[in-house]
Structure formats: C-alpha cells, structure tokens
Amino acid sequence: AMDIKTRREFVFLAIACVLCGMIPLFLPADAPWINDEPLLLEQAWNVVHKMGMPTHGLIGNVGLPYGPVPVLIYSAALVFTHNLVLLVFLRALFFSLSIGLAVWWLARLCPRLSPPIGALALLSPYYWFYSRALWDNSFLIPFSALTLVVYVSFCRMQAVWKLWLVALGMVLMLQTHLMCLPLLAAIVGHFLWQYISWAVKHSGHCVVIVLVASLACLPYVADVAHHLGDIRAVAADWNAASWFFTLLGGRTFSAIGLDYFFGENWQTHSQLPVLLWILTGVSALGLLAFWVGLREAWSLLTGNKHKPGDKPLEFQLFSVVLLTLVLQVFVNGVSRATGHPHYYN
C-alpha cells in the first residue's frame, strides 16, 4: 500500500500528465506541412483509393525504405476524415495518452523513480513539435515508450501475454522506422541475458511469438534487403562529433537547439524575447538532468549490492536504457549522423 506522501505524488503526476498532455492539443492547425508530411499522406491516399497494401513507407537519407506502419495509420484515418487539422489533433491526443500512460505505469512499477518528475517529459518542446508533425519517425516515441514499460512489467512478473505485447510493440517499431534498432537490440539482448531460463521453460510460446513476429515483418524486411545496395552514410566525411552526439540527447528535454525548427534567434520574434531567452537558459537543466540520470543509472548497475535473482526493477530498466544508449552511440558514429535532433532517437 502507498503511504500518504507517495499517494500525493501520484495524484500530482496524474494531474500534471493531464495538464501537460493538453498542451499539444491546442492550435492543431499550426503544424508543419513541408516534405515528408505530404508525401506520407499521398502514399496513404493511394492505399485507400487503389486498395494496395504497402510494404514500405518513404525512402530515408541512408537509402533504405522506412516501414509501412505510418502509412497504414494515415490511410485508416483518411477513411474517416480528410481534415488534416483533425489528423494533427488526433495524433497529438494519441501521443499524450500513450506517454502519460507510460510515465504513470513506469512510476508505479519502479518505486525509486520520482513520480512528479515523469510529467516533465510532456513539457519538452521537442515532444510538442514531434507529437503534432504528420511524420513517420516520431511514431517511435509512443511505440517505444509503451513497449519499454510493458517489457519492464514483464521483468517484474513474467507472463506470456506480456511477451506478446512486447513483440507487438517491437513489430510496430521496426515497421515504422529503422532508428528503433538500438532499442530493439537492447530489449532482445536483455531478455536473453536475464530470462533465457524462462524462455527455455516456455520455449513453445516463445517460438510461436518469434515466428508470428517474423512473418509480420517479412514483407518489409525483404523490401529493405532489396535496397541494401543503396546504403549510404548520412554525411560524406568522417566526423568525430557523431560519436559524442548521442550524449547530448538530453537537449530534447530542453529548449536548446530549437533554432533547428524556428530559425536562429527565434526568441527575438516573440513579444517577450527576454523572458524566452531566460526560459531557454533555465531549460538547459533538462540536459543536466539527463547526465545526472545516466550517472544514477550507472551507479545502480555497478553498485554490486544486489543478490543474484533479487535485483530491483530499476536495475532491469536502467540496463535496457544504458545498452540502448551505447548502441545508439555506435549507430550514430558509424552512420556519421549529427546535428538533426531526431538522430538522438
């Protein structure tokens, strides 16, 4: 049972998630419509009117096709409405509900996490932007959050039905955008590391899950294999900065770097430029919090205070998170990806 202090924290978290989650719902017409957005909606329109099943979405910067899930989502939406403003609103609502649920669930599962802090994720200006853009990559935000929290729930109490949900999330992620690969590899690696004995005991269920997930991804994977010869690096020249780029990912919990979207010195175009400059500076604490969180996670993992088989749930969560971070550093380094905020993934 929760004590009074913890109960108050969760009440605050619930209220904060509702209030913060409402922010992206306002002014849905103020959303980008530049390159990828109209192309994705064009593909969705063709799916609806030509009744064809797509095997991939847009072709990415590295020469590989991205998954068909965003196209299918938008094509399903176009059956009911052609109002793009409504699509932006529904997308933002889905994002807020998904992230709010994931934050709440993680806070309930992991007692060492501070529930009120979770709502800060919904205050990210990057989250506000990506939740409203009719894009493909950003669908990984709700998909990855829900997949991760379901996997953490599986770590708490293993059940076949939870593994089915994790597999569903991984299938949706893989067929959304290939930037999900570090997280998928981290979850699979952690599962084999921590739960191989459970997998052997439930081998029949595990084999069926792997087969069904593989068959669901087969058309897209075959399409990707067909384009392997088209792979190219994001940048032509080797860049040492790309190997450190991921470590600045905490910027997405701040207002640092928003000139990428709004232009240089975007604060000066407001009626309150001084206030915006101050808020931008204060928001840099989000990047600091990211580094502090990494240090806390590493301290928990290397503390050696836990008996085998008696590790806290935060140990499992931080293992997946840190492994994902390491793999993301490798991916960004090899692909020479730097600069664009969505490369933080």
- Count the neighbouring beta carbons within 10 Å of the beta carbon of residue 232: 11
Sole residue written with tokens 């190997």: 243
Per-residue model confidence (pLDDT) at position 233: 65
Is there a contact between 30 and 261 (Cβ–Cβ < 8 Å)? Answer: no
C-alpha closest to that of 310 among 155, 200, 80, 170:
155
Measure the CA–CA gap between 216 and 38, rounded to whole angstroms.
Answer: 27
Contact 86, 94 (CB under 8 A): no
271 Cβ contact list (under 8 Å, min separation 6): none
- pLDDT per residue of the chain (345 residues) written in tens, 0 to 9: 567 767 888 888 889 889 999 999 999 999 989 889 999 999 999 999 887 788 888 888 778 899 999 999 999 999 999 999 999 999 999 999 999 999 999 998 998 888 778 888 888 999 999 999 999 999 999 999 999 999 999 999 999 999 999 999 999 999 999 999 999 999 999 999 999 999 999 999 999 999 999 999 999 999 999 888 877 766 667 778 888 888 888 899 999 989 988 888 999 988 899 999 999 999 999 899 899 989 989 998 887 666 656 788 999 999 999 999 999 999 888 888 777 787 766
Residue with tokens 């176009």: 78
Is 13 within 8 Å of 119 (Cβ atoms)? yes
> For 18-38, b where at least 16 C-beta lie within 10 A, e where not — what string?
eebbeebbeebeebeeeebbe
Q: 310: which 2 tokens?
A: 């008696």
pLDDT of amino acid 339: 76
Predicted pLDDT at 230: 78
Q: Quick one: which of 120, 104, 114, 43 has its CA closest to 74?
A: 43
Angle at 96 between CA 277 and CA 131, to 5 degrees: 60
